[in-house]
Each structure stands twice: as C-alpha cells, then as structure tokens.
Amino acid sequence: MNIGQFHESLASKHPFCMGIHWDHKKHMTISDLSALHDAGFKDCSYGNDECPSYYIPDTDDTHLYAYYGDAIIEYSISHNSRPCMGTYTNINDAIREYKRITK
C-alpha cells in the first residue's frame, strides 16, 4: 500500500477523520502507518483535538496520539481521558504500551 491507502484504511471505520489534522498526518512515515494498520488501529481524529488520534476498536477509552513538532512525530497515549506514560518517538514502543494498558 502507499501512504494514501494506509490513511484510507485507518479511516475506514470513520471516513471523515481522514482529512482531520492532515498537517500532522502528512509527516507520518509509511512504516509507522503500516505498524498502526497491522496492529488493528483505526483513525478517530477529532477537529477539536490538537493532533490525530487512533484506537483499536473494542478497547476501553484508550487513544494513541500522533503529534508532529520539531521535525519529528511523537506518539503519546491517553487512557480514561488522562495522558499517561510519556511520549514515544518509536511507533512500536507506543503500540506495545497501548496494548499493555488495554489488556
């Protein structure tokens, strides 16, 4: 898949999310998008958030955020509407922490 197809696949459950926060999403690498896709994440970005958000369906109020700043993408996790566990520059570390929290 190319970058656009990964974004479409991630937004398949909520198609209107695809264009939200494109200023951050356009900086995500194909390997990061592939990792989110392969782990079962879906785009759930909201216009009133400051950056894109992703979740795995059937997980309880847990979101992974992708923030572009200082020329890098940083990932963070929110659980029960509270940020937790810092930030990650490696998507696989962020996914691993997300899955640990949602066990």
Condensed to tens digits (0 to 9), the pLDDT of residues 1-31 reads 898 999 999 999 999 999 999 999 999 999 9
pLDDT band at 82 (very low <50, low <70, confident <90, very high): confident
Mean pLDDT of the chain: 92
C-alpha 6/C-alpha 3 separation (Å) is: 5
Please tell me whether residue 24 adopts helix, strand or coil conformation.
helix
Domain of residue 79, residue span? 3-101
pLDDT of residue 63: 93
How many independent structural domains does the chain possess? 1
Distances in whole angstroms, Cα of residue 30 to Cα of each of 5, 19, 51, 100, 103: 10, 17, 18, 24, 27
Looking at the predicted structure, is the pLDDT value of residue 85 above 70? no
What confidence score (pLDDT) does residue 90 get? 96
Q: How many other C-beta atoms can be found within 10 angstroms of the C-beta atom of residue 88?
A: 19
